[in-house]
Amino acid sequence: MKTSTRSSSVSTKAHSPKLGPGEYRPEGIFLRPEDLPRPKRLHERRATPSQPCPTCGRPASKHRTYRRSLYDFGDLRSGRPCILELTYSQHYCRACQKYFNQDLSDVTAPKSLYTRRVQDLAVRLVVEDGLPYRSASWHLWRDHRVFVPFATLQNWVEAGGKKGHGAHGH
Ligand SMILES: [Zn+2]
């Protein structure tokens, strides 16, 4: 009885009677990554004891593990960005006497700081929806909680050579 009285008074306080469902509530624009809320870290372990050698196909045992930190889509409930901590393995093939890293191409591009799904969506916002780089960058933060500087976005699209082949085709 006591509990229900308290919770109903809290909910009355939280809602101002003037606010309708379409109320516009702007949010500050972040200009620097260091101003963003503290990221959540999610861990994914990819390392395996053995992998087939890409050259000869023989099983190659794990030599050591490495970790990469990748910006992924953030968490909309808390409003925080997310970093995927990906652990992967390096292997040594005795037959070829070569080291090789585990294939991560389904998750991220080589040397990228972002997951492939973030990169794919970012490029689509520009190529399919025709958004300018700054708008696409803002969309990614506002709706997906991932900060991609517009210059980075521009590099991705230009590297893919796709701008102008979508709705704006010449
Ligand atoms: Zn080999």
Cα(64) to ligand 1 centroid in Å equals: 17
User: Would residue 25 count as lying in a domain?
Assistant: no
Q: Which residues pair with 72 in a beta bridge?
A: 82
d(CA 40, CA 33): 14
Cα(46) to ligand 1 centroid in Å equals: 20
Cβ atoms of residues 67 and 89 within 8 Å: no
pLDDT, position 35:
79
User: Would residue 11 count as lying in a domain?
Assistant: no
User: Would residue 3 count as lying in a domain?
Assistant: no
Q: Which H/E stretch holds residue 87?
A: strand 80-93
Q: Please state the pTM of the whole predicted model.
A: 0.76
Cα(62) to ligand 1 centroid in Å equals: 13
Cα(75) to ligand 1 centroid in Å equals: 41
User: Would residue 128 count as lying in a domain?
Assistant: yes
pLDDT, position 161:
75
Which domain range does residue 66 map to?
A: 34-160
- Give the pLDDT of the chain (170 residues) as one tens digit per residue: 444 444 444 444 455 566 677 777 777 666 677 778 899 999 999 999 999 999 999 999 999 999 999 999 999 999 999 999 999 999 999 999 999 999 999 999 999 999 999 999 999 999 999 999 999 999 999 999 999 999 999 999 999 876 554 444 33
Q: Give the count of domains, the chain.
A: 1
User: Would residue 58 count as lying in a domain?
Assistant: yes
Cα(133) to ligand 1 centroid in Å equals: 44
d(CA 70, CA 104): 12
Cα(68) to ligand 1 centroid in Å equals: 25
